[in-house]
Structure 1
Amino acid sequence: MNSSSLPQRSTVRKKKKPARKRKKRGFFRTVFRVFMFCLILLIIAGGWLYLAPSAQNTRYLIADTLITTQHRYMAKYIIGEDELKNRVSEYTERFQEMGNEVDTHVIEPEPVVPEDKPLVEIEKVTGSGYAGYVMIVNDPKKVRLGVPNKIGSGEKVSSMVARTGAIAGVNGGGFADPNWKGNGFKPIGLVVSQGKLYYNGLGGKKSTQIVGLDKEGKMIAGNYTLDELSKMGVQEAVTFQPRIIVNGKGQIKNAAEGWGIAPRTAMGQRADGALIFVVIDGRQPGYSIGANLYDVQQIMLKQGAVIAANLDGGSSTVLVKDNEILNKPSSQYGERYLPTAFLVFENPEQADIKNIWEGLDPSKIDAGKKRAQ
């Protein structure tokens, strides 16, 4: 047999593929698998969120949270446009209802701060997904409502505190905020400071939801007319809602009624007259996502509040003490320009708070005009 007809072992060795190419292909295979795994999880989660009856509360929580932000329109992609309108309408009606019960709470006629207790006490507060502060003001008569000092522009709370000589301050009422870029100069509803009506933006409305204080330092919160506020001797007040505690009872039944998760500011009062300010940070994963109104209500009840109400929150939420911002405002631009703030003074009678809106027509104030420098 001719040996040349037998199979011959090749003397030429195949070149091995470079290790770098093998590693590169292995890396891309791993990335692809991870991507596909995440995609499948996303599809499953999306199917559960939109189709499963058990996910209804989660859908509403996400939608309610979006409603409290500048991206409210996105809530329609979670619950639909019609349901979004219904949800906002339901909250408006519910908040109105929560302000109607007659408040009968009383406080000690002459709150006295013990010599060994400071006027202002601050402590940190944490809960599931949120972090913030509780500020106790032991003498409610030491609080005044601060307003800006320049026409056409709101003012940062830290600036109000420094300018007026206050020892502490928190943000107050709401304001017209077109595209979340407002100048902070056009309040919503009423502004009362030192017993005088500084601003009336009610238009044709007869009543509004008020958060404030009377001459004796008693907290006033709920739905009132201007005539009622005058007869009650209201000294400091802003328009905001909802009232979350009245006559010692919480108005929000559970977290599902808590109007989403967001940065929060609220004001309450104990039976001894001490004021409670709750400031919760939010929209900052890894630190604090935020709280719902039920969370805030429960903090207030734990602190002994017999009455409490929500104040403007979101990117407006701020707490200043001794000229230092204690919390972490959620706005990417830092502390916002606002129309009102509750300020605490050692000597409030010396506070110089002028009516910056005097002589101005509320209907002609441009809320979106570039703020004065």
Structure 2
Amino acid sequence: METTLSRTRTMKKRRRRNSPLTLLKHMLLATMLFFLLLMLAAAIFLFGTQKGMELREWIAGTLLTTQHDYLAPFTFLPKAKLDELKNELNHPVIINTTPAEAVDKPVEPMPAAEEKPRELVEIEDVNIDKGSYYFKGKLMYISDPQRVHLVVTERTDDRGDLLDEFAKKYNAIGIVNASGFYDPDGYGRGKSAFGVVIHDGKILQSYNPRSNQTALGITYDGKMITGNYSAEELVAMGVRDAMSFSPQLIVNGKNLFADKAGTAWGNQPRTAVGQKADGTVVFLVIDGRQPGHSIGASMKDVADLLEQKGVVTAMAMDGGSSSMMLHNGEAITKTSCPYYRGRYLPNAWAVY
């Protein structure tokens, strides 16, 4: 009788151990243990290694250049480091250039046998894997700088133009976004640009040259200048079209990000405009915020890439979901904006 009772109790225990509820409890316990170990390993990596510190700096820099800058302190960087990142964003290095310094550098002549007529617009793919991140985009080379103009919205309602609307209106061969604009919640309508705007030699909007924004302009003879100039100074220097943003990337052939880690500005979709020593204007757009396609580039990435391509003067345009490039009326980059046609913009750099 005792043996039978013992066997019965043993079988009941086995059934309890093998019941679905017991198995579920064991699975939940194992899962919780796994995630606790994972969180411990992540904490050790983020707060106990140099790579982890760099990652937190990168995250903070990315947040500081978005509408979610208030989240940057939650990266738990030391206050001194966070202040350093903010200072780099708010007070970028500014150097004035002149048209002569920008483009009048000796250029090696091409052998006669290799000379051929240059296309007005040439497109080059950008596809770079940095190991810990990757980005894609397009470079557009414009051989005649006098064909590059700043186009501005003339709409009378409460919004700016889409890039394809600008392109259609001006029959533009190529076009990229330019100025930033008031955008408190990510739904800005792009009606009014920040900073200076000069169009066809007329000052449409001035700005305080003591701000952290710098001007980028093209003169009537196609030379690009950038620096801490007032609108009146730019017009006096023969500038036909100009706008302002920041930061400068390359001035007088000097890469201003050569000695920087690039974490302050984070990784984002980017737009930049520059000029080579022979006068060729260069548009660059990098896609971002799209895992599986392109994460985005740092300002250092953009400056280094343009320097490699022979650019001697360059400045960043508005980035993020505004970044986009069109060629012959068609988008050749992939915007991070939910709307496939991009955002409403106050102006753009166009080739026509």
Residue among 177, 184, 188 paired with 2:190: 184
Secondary structure of 2:285 counterpart: strand
Separation in 2, partners of 1:8, 1:242 = 85
Single out whichever of 142-151 and 43-52 deviates more from structure 2: 43-52
Separation in 1, partners of 2:315, 2:275 = 10
1:332 partnered with 2:338: yes
CA contact (8 A) 1:255 1:293 kept: no
Partner of 2:236: 231
Separation in 2, partners of 1:265, 1:118 = 22
Shift in alpha-carbon separation, 1:44–1:163, aligned structure 2, 3 A: same
Report deviation, 1:332: 2.5
Report deviation, 1:30: 4.1
Read off the aligned partner of 1:144 and give its amino acid letter: H
CA contact (8 A) 1:207 1:224 kept: no
- Residues 115-169 of structure 1: per-residue CA shift (max 9 Å, x gap): 7432111121111211111111111111111111313311111111012211110
- Residues 203-255 of structure 1: per-residue CA shift (max 9 Å, x gap): 69599511121111111122212332122111111111111112222111345
Separation in 1, partners of 2:286, 2:29 = 41
Structure 2, unpaired ranges of 5+: 106-114
Partner of 1:142: 147
Partner of 1:123: 124
Report deviation, 1:8: 6.1
Aligned residues: 332
Separation in 2, partners of 1:326, 1:170 = 11
CA contact (8 A) 1:107 1:218 kept: no
Report deviation, 1:105: 2.6
Residue among 99, 119, 125 paired with 2:95: 99
Report deviation, 1:39: 3.0
Structure 1, unpaired ranges of 5+: 109-113, 346-373
1:216 partnered with 2:221: yes
TM-score (norm 1): 0.79
Report deviation, 1:38: 2.8
CA contact (8 A) 2:159 2:189 kept: yes
1:343 partnered with 2:343: no
Shift in alpha-carbon separation, 1:106–1:86, aligned structure 2, 3 A: closer
Shift in alpha-carbon separation, 1:32–1:256, aligned structure 2, 3 A: farther
Secondary structure of 1:75 counterpart: helix
Separation in 2, partners of 1:49, 1:144 = 46
Separation in 2, partners of 1:141, 1:76 = 46
Residue among 153, 174, 177 paired with 1:168: 174
Shift in alpha-carbon separation, 1:120–1:11, aligned structure 2, 3 A: closer
1:33 partnered with 2:30: yes
Shift in alpha-carbon separation, 1:49–1:10, aligned structure 2, 3 A: closer
Secondary structure of 2:185 counterpart: helix
Residue among 321, 324, 330 paired with 1:318: 324
CA contact (8 A) 1:132 1:281 kept: yes
Residue among 283, 287, 294 paired with 1:281: 287
TM-score (norm 2): 0.83
Secondary structure of 1:306 counterpart: strand
Q: Higher Cα Rg: structure 1 or 2?
A: 1
Q: Over aligned residue pairs, what C-alpha RMSD do you find?
A: 3.1
Secondary structure of 2:326 counterpart: strand
- Residues 152-204 of structure 1: per-residue CA shift (max 9 Å, x gap): 3111111110122111100001112122221111211111111211222x269
1:305 partnered with 2:303: no
Report deviation, 1:272: 1.3
Partner of 1:65: 62
Read off the aligned partner of 1:77 and give its amino acid letter: F
Single out whichever of 206-215 and 57-66 deviates more from structure 2: 206-215
